[in-house]
Structures are given as structure tokens and as C-alpha cells.
Structure 1
């Protein structure tokens, strides 16, 4: 690839890209059916969770069952289907099912007000809505302007989390995700090629997602993102070659945001397993259970992790002095490590001691992560330098929803504090 100009690289990456989101999953499931795609937590917040693996073959099977169920509901090409939910495995499977059925996902943050939710659903002309709680059903049922428009409400759970009652009692339009998948399986039993025909017909320029951003004035604006934009991001990050199929990514970012959806495309393209954790208060504990090698986030999360580690550190005059000494050594080591130069022998010896006494504990708390990625806002240089001193790089990127999330990115091997790095390939 050396010597190629940006136009030829862009075309090469376009040629490498899957034609649509469903075909992207097909490639990985065909090549590595038993490779783990998702890890799903089971257990209470205050207990050790069990993380159940879902392989790429299982991921595809569930997505195709979902797609068939949606086609059975009469979903049309590029017709919008909304998802009002926090980050969870069901969100991912629903979104992929929508894509495989030729529909387009409308993303809605779970904390969006009933008024703004109604506006987004009306503006997007969404006819089917997936929700994660019965409280989200109430947002729809309470809006008279949605009475005729919303034809089906699909709940991830079968009971009302507030009362334990059956969700079907909330509204006649309610259907559970399990029921939709079961109906899809019956349709595929009669017509095994139903979803395959649809995937093969979806073009890169077909609408995949409507992401509503607040903008700076007025009502939320819906950004249209095509299938080819998502799959291009997967090909571009695979070309960069700093994340591989042996990595494990902890996904907690809102999937209603372009950055979260972009990470799905990247990890499916490369074959990276993703542990899905939407419970922010439990994030640090889940990191210790899952032991991810890569984690993406926004600045406030890295600030929270730093504060949590510092608060949890043993208190005492001696331990405090050792910690301060270790981070001073880490600060002195940064110029050499950033430039790839060899540290002076004395400094190298002090850094090894600092690592053994302090930094190794921090790394264990973070599960042995290789590096972390920050986006969404400017990261404090102090936070970035603090982690780097301990041998944990945080790299920054920049993008916009209209650019399919990532436009600039700084790699772990070429990190420069306070910068978002060079433009992404192509």
C-alpha cells in the first residue's frame, strides 16, 4: 500500500468493505463461526456476574430470526424501526435484525423525554419500536399523536419491571422480543432463503441508520447514515491494524450515539469479542471480571476510573509517598517512551520498581487493558498523562455523526498528548 495516494486508498477500502451491515456479519460468521462475538452478563450488580459467550454463528442466527420476524410484520425497505434502550445485547441483535431485514434503525436515548421521543418517532416515521423497559412503553402509549403511527411495540423483557405484570397488559400493540424471534423462526422454516434474499439485495447506499443529534438550535436533527458508511469504518480500522481478533473490547458506550454504533461495525469486521455492559455504576467491577484488552469511552469515564482507583488505594503516609514517587518516575519516563528511546539505566530501574509497587496494581484493576480510546469531548491532559505514566495509553479521536463517528484518530504507538491524531485512512 505504500506510495498510494488518498484516492486510491479510499477506493481500495471501499472495495474491501462489505456491501451492507448484514453482509458484514456474514463474512465473519462464515469465516469464524465459533469465534466469540459477544459476552453477556448475568447476575446482580453487587455480585460476581457470569458472562455467557455468543459466537458469531449464534449472533447471525438470532439476527436472521429477528429479521424474518420483522419481515413477517410487513417491514418495508428502508422503513424506520426505532430502538429506545440503554446499551445491552438485545439492542445489538435488534439493530442487526433491522439491517438484515432491509429496514433502517432510528436511535433514541433511553432518557429522552416523552415529548422529544414522540417528536423523533414522528419525524422519522418509525412504525415499529423496540424498548428495554415498560417505562419506555408508557412514553409511547401516553402520546395520542402516536396512536395510529406506531403499529408494534417490541419489548426486550416479558414482564413489567415495576410490577412484575405481563407486558402484554400494557397495550395491545406489545409483542416480546422472544415472540418476534419465534415467529421469524417459523417463517424461515417455510422459506429458508427469506432473509438471505433481502441481504443480497441491500446496496451500500441504502439507508441503515437515523441518528438524532441535538444540534445547536431547535429540535433534534436526524442524520442519515448508509450501510456503506458503517462497513467502510470497519475496513478502515482493520487497515490500521492496531486491534486484532485476539482483543476483547468492553462495550459500554450508548449505542444510540454514532461512536457506539461505529464500534459495532469495527469489531464485527475484525472479529473482536465484545463484553456488553450498560450498567455504568458497575463498570469498574465488570472491567475486573472481563479483563478487556481495549476499552473506548468518554473523558468523564476515565476521570471516574482514575478517581475510583485513587480512592480505593490503601491509605497511609508510606503508601501515599510510594504512590507519589512512582508517578514522578512515570512522569520522568514519558519523554523516552513517547519517542521510543531507551531510558537511562537508572531511570529504567526506578520505573521497574514503580511498576512492581504501584502500576501493576492499577493494571490489574483495569484487567490488563493494552490501551484505551477517548472520544466525544476533549480529554484532560492530566488524566491522559496520569494513565500513560502507569503504562496505560489513552488515545484520542475526533469525529461527528455526519462523518460516521471517526474522522481523526491517534494510534497507541504514535500518541501525542492533547491531539486527536491524523485523518483516518481514505
Structure 2
């Protein structure tokens, strides 16, 4: 059977773990985006205040403070490390694990060797709480979509007292009951537009969707939705990629902490993004044949001049070398940069990715070795691996990096930086 383990309000859990003065269940807690502009993670207490996902921070800060709550900024180094620990713990209990996202992991259990499935799930819960200090919900059923449904039911506020965070859908009666009590928009893979269209045809619940004619679903909607219907009927039809598997494209972008006008400062941001994206390429053992740079102003400030532009470059051969990619990124940026605008965001996209073993088409007279990475880049990777990210970097990334997003509200890197280790005083 498939198991989905889902951390309760993951980013909030990670922050509160090192700030026990806040009660996770009773105190309104949230995490803001990388530029501290919007709410991107919420616990149940902050949801109960009516604060929605994506709500502008300036609109809710006073409300949260008035109820004794707290808002943190984002620290993706901390979040990534704790997420990795979460997934590593689960690999002890499950087989065929898939790291679906930062806070969700699919895996399987063999019911022939598991006497009490629900008790086993509670053992997983207790272990995660003891070893990592985080709470999670678990859904268990015969397909991934039904396991996702179980996880949704396990975390539902009005049912949590009964489920204790674990729902096992191991009979048709339980599956149908859960589907009848789940709006179709809460079914995994059903978006808002699809929901509106389904509602027009009288499909309002997961149970309605399960009983819809698959041929009609394929014709009227998509093959993807038809697979969802098959999954709801107990037939495995969905294939997922692990977050650590190779990807089709890599994008690194970030809103800047202040309006950027000068090309020099914008170049620092693009270089930093290209460097990070190149590191990801090498982590996935991939190479890129195309690079796109994009920049744009703040679309929310319509009173100011607006400018949105991108530039794509087809590379002569695939590469994952940082210096090479930064050179192309800088060239593309200079081609689209215009003076007189206040830029808010910049980004780098690597596309047409290939693996080391893939066949490559090179120029007949080219002397460049295929899929080559310079020794300089490899040495930089090794130094940064030993002494921490950015221990050594390209000078074109700049040093002050005043364009960086605001991070004064971000939690410390409690688990990855010695100087940030929490101090306990007797």
C-alpha cells in the first residue's frame, strides 16, 4: 500500500522547533516569502484569524502581533536541511520512497509483513516527533491519489481529534465515505479551473469524480484527469519524479530587496543566480544547451515605468561549467538591460538539459571536449563543500550584495552553521 507522509505546516514547524516559546497549536505563526512580502506558510491558528496564503505581510502583521503571534522570514538552507532529515528518517520505515516535495514523501509498506497498519503509521509519527521534533499527517491506501486523500483527511481540523493524524483507507466503504465528504477541488490534481468546469457538469465531490465516465473525462478534460479517476478507483496510474531526480529545466530567480537601477548591481544578481543554477546542474549530473535571462520591474507599482524583457541563447555545446554559463548570462543581460528603470526581479533559466551519458551533436571541427567542466569549477565546488556555500565565489557576484532580499526576520541556520547553534543556559 502507498503511504503519504506530510509535515504539518512545514516551514512554520521548522521555525517553531527552535523557538519553543511559541505554542504551535495555539499561537498564530507564519512564514514570509524570501523578500518578506507575502505569507507563504501558516499554522492552523493563523488560518483561524482569516489570513490567507499569499496575503501581503504589511496587511497582517498587526493582526498577528495583536494575538501574540509571530511571522518569520525564510531561510531555505535551514528548511532544506530539515527536509532532508525528514525524508531520511522515512526511508527507514518505507520502501520505494519518492521525495515528492520539501514536506511530502510517498513510500510503500508491505501489508503482508505489517500486522497493524495504523499502529505502524503512529510509530512513524512518534519517531519523527522524537527525532526531529516535527508533527505530520499520514494517509495510507492502494494508490498515491488515495493516499493523498487520506493525508488530507488526517489533517482536516474537524476530523483531527478522531484521526490523530492518521487515516487508512483500506476498504471501499472508507474510500467512498472520504470521497463523499471531500469537495472535488481538494482532490489531488484538480485545479481551480477544472473544478469550475466539473461543477458545471454536476461533479462536486471526489465521489462524483470517481464515478464519472473515463471516456467522457478524456474527451472533455485531459488524460491527466482520467488518470486521477483511475487512481480514485484503486488502479495505479500516476508516476512521480523524486525531487532529486534529473530535471527538464532549472530556474533560479529572486525578487530583490530594493529597486535596482544600475547594470553593475543587476549583473551581480544575475551572476549569483547563474552560479546557483550551475551548481544545481552539477548536482543532478546534467548539462544545459540553452540559457534564458529575464528581468522586470515591479508590476504592482503601475505609476512607475514598466519593463519586462527576456533573452535566450542557444549554446554551441552542453555545459555545466560556472564560468562559461556566467559569461553567457552576462552577455544576455547586457543585450536586454535598459537605463531608467527600477528593476525588481531577475532570473536565470537553463533548458534543453542532458545527462552525461546522452548522445551529443558537436561541430565537426570543434576542439572542445563534450560535457566538460573546468578544473577551476570543480575546485570551487570542493572548497564550498568543505567550508560552506560562498566560501569562494566569482568576483562578479559582488561583495556587499545590497540587492539581496531582506532577511532580518529569517530564522538562523540552526542545523548547518556552528555559530548559529542554539545556546541552552542553566
Report the TM-score, using the length of structure 2 for normalisation: 0.24
Q: Which has the higher helix share?
A: 1
Which of the pair has more CA radius of gyration?
Answer: 2
Report the TM-score, using the length of structure 1 for normalisation: 0.24
